[in-house]
Structure 1
Amino acid sequence: MTAKPLITHLRHVGIAMPDLDRQLAFYRDLWGLTPVADDTGVHFLAAEGSPEQYVVRLRKDDQKRLDLVSFGAASVEDVHTLCERLRTAGVRIISEPDDVDTPGGGYGFRFFDCDGRVIEVSTDVATRAFRRIEEHESIPVRLSHFVINSANPEQTVAWYVEHLGFRLSDSLCMGDRGEFMWFLRCNDWHHSLAVSRGPHHAVNHISFELRGLDEYMRGTGRLLRAGVQKIWGPGRHKAGDNTYSYFFDKAGNTVEYTTELQLVDWDEWHPSVFDVFKPDFIDQWGTSNPMNEFVSKWMHNDPDRGLFVAPPL
């Protein structure tokens, strides 16, 4: 039996953009998240079915950027242990372990990953009063996973495996052109993080879990009727066995509605490589528009302007 990582789960993702008002309205009024707090222009939004204080934070900035990715830890001791391991390995620490001054509080620290993204790890964050999402209710239950683009994906994957304890679940390839996406887990969900090959470091997409297939399809249809630009879907992936419908938010980031992400055994699961040139490997249902240059272009996103620059909050 192999010990699980000190990181327990994905907490939230923070993004910044010039047009905060339109972005806030998108996530609140169309995507289905609930505003829970704001602090000096930073807005925190929760998923109604999740005990996490918030799953997305939005901040106004002159440039579009990823502010941070936040993960949970089980204890203060684990936070300190991880911080010391990273420091010894030469990882650049942004802030030392201390009280967290955002909704829910807690105790944590921040550091840069190998590509310059800001990563936060925290524990003892107060849980939020959440509720059961009802039948036909097409709003997110929780934050499902986060996918990043890297110009050096093999290096990025190796960094997360070595330093944060993630394990490879599966990967995707394009025939004999080689692998281009790697799915990483820190718990029994098939993936909480994935790394995709791209021309530059950027956000690939942010994914949100819905209650079930009916709610996922209702949410997909609701966004289409509202005129939200669809990128890809609806369909069902082979790797992770989850459904997918990808859309643009108002800053041009890709966001996904999904459901039924696969649970795997931490010790017994063995990774497979799925060739996306085989139609049923990229979409088991055969209902989605093809994965083509249009889809790839928009998922490559704009280069992240926040690398190795800590956000103000």
Structure 2
Amino acid sequence: MKTPTAHSPVKRIQRGIPAVIATAALLLAATACAPGTATSQSTPSTPSGDSGGSGTGVPALAVNDAAAQLLPESIKSTKVLRVAIPTNEPPTQFYREGTQEMTGTNPDIARLLGEALGVKVEIQVANFDSIIPGIAAGRYDMTVSSMTPTEKRMEVLDFVDYMQMGNSIAVAKGNPQGITDQHVLCGRKVGLLTGSYQLTVNVPEYDKACTAAGKDTIQRSEFQDTRQAISALSSGRLDAVLADSPILNFAATQNPQIEIAAKYDFTPVGVGMPKDSGLIKAVSAALSGVIKSDSYLKVLGKYGLESSAITDARVNFAQ
């Protein structure tokens, strides 16, 4: 989920430094995902099988030996990457029905990264707002959570782009309010995900434009996940919901009471890791290979997100 929810902070070193944790908390703003339980899943690297990720359906990917050699010694010795990911936001991350197995574009791309680096991926499911402090405290090595690289976040995290996504505006079926784009949201009742990029970056900018035009600012309502926001929209308590495109687009295919009024602002999101973790060179080299692979396109295609593919794994490119 794209956010600055400060798509921002952190992934493995000696932390626990109060100042770092405080900074991480302040920079929070990322994909407004729903609360997840603090569970973990181990996904062994299986570069020669038909489905990597220990039966998770991730296409096989050969180990990138050059990238693996760049891993910090702490990761080389454990051969484990602890990846923090939120849940409850299909198709980017969610539990496979009837299981505690995480699936979606973010878990699958984390697994591809693990295969490329020849390490086991342990997916740590956590509330989004606990990810940055958790990385600062050394509980996670990185996050793959649709986090938008921003200058604020890059004060504490390094980022490598891995896919792109935009904003969507969902409205009630038939669009009774006549909402056509973000420029007509002034004075409207809009649902937003807590800590999201839309809430922390987009809406403040829109409000300035509204005020400059002599119009009322957006009436914000915050929700922990899109299901809650869409329920409020369907019941008439909201005029619109503004969130990441993949999430709202998927929701619109599942709920006949809503439709998408606008899609815009497509920008990359990145894998985030602590600046002093020593991971950036290895992750950058591995992701450069991942996004050029058929496995990457297969993962995105599995969730109908082929248009989210990128061709350049840029490092620390602020949005």
Classify the TM-score, shorter chain.
Answer: under 0.3
- Structure ranking higher on relative contact order (CA contacts 8 Å, 6+ apart): 2
Length-normalised TM-score, structure 1: 0.26
Which has the larger share of helix? 2
